[in-house]
């Protein structure tokens, strides 16, 4: 993985993928016809990731009414993801990408600097993908507070 991690542009076609999830295997292209909120989070059951997942959980009914599905992706293995889902009664699929192929395709695995040291890590990133598979909105280095409302606004615009 190079330091030149791609950032997929709004208006480009979302790369297809198939990953194991808490609801079985999920393939992005099989979700055509629905708006997809695809978000990458660093680690299950950590404070920021929990807050983000619970915010999306609380919006699921509204998202479903707008024809949207929410998919959370992490590099965690399925046992940790399933425990996280159960602990917080999450009501949407969480996907496991332990080999980071999907993270890399979506630019969510990149160099990060913490405490003066640079290392590769998960970049909290959200994509809204329209019913035709086109990326309509990208947020990189997401700040969790208020992010759910920003995503909902974009989904509402796509539902019109």
Question: Would you say 95 and 26 are in contact if contact means Cβ atoms under 8 Å apart?
Answer: yes
From the list 36, 44, 49, 81, the catalytic residue is: 49
The C-alpha atoms of residue 46 and residue 147 are separated, in whole angstroms, by 17
H/E stretch holding 95 reads strand 94-96
User: Under 8 Å CB-to-CB from 147, ≥6 apart: which residues?
Assistant: 52, 55, 126, 139
49 is catalytic: yes
* 81 touches 75 (CB < 8 A): no
State CA 143 to chain mean position distance. Answer: 14
Q: Which residues are catalytic?
A: 49
């Amino acid at each position: 993985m190079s330091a030149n991690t791609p950032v997929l542009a709004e208006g480009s076609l979302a790369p297809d993928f198939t990953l194991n999830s808490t609801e079985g295997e999920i393939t992005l292209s099989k979700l055509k016809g629905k708006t997809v909120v695809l978000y990458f989070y660093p680690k299950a059951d950590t404070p920021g990731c929990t807050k983000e997942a619970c915010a999306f959980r609380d919006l699921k009914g509204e998202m479903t009414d707008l024809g949207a599905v929410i998919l959370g992706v992490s590099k965690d293995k399925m046992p940790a993801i399933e425990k996280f889902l159960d602990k917080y009664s999450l009501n949407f699929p969480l996907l496991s990408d332990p080999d980071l192929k999907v993270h890399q395709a979506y630019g969510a695995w990149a160099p990060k600097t913490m405490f003066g040291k640079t290392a590769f890590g998960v970049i909290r990133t959200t994509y809204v993908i329209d019913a035709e598979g086109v990326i309509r909105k990208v947020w990189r280095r997401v700040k969790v507070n208020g992010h759910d409302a920003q995503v909902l606004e974009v989904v509402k615009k796509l539902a019109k």
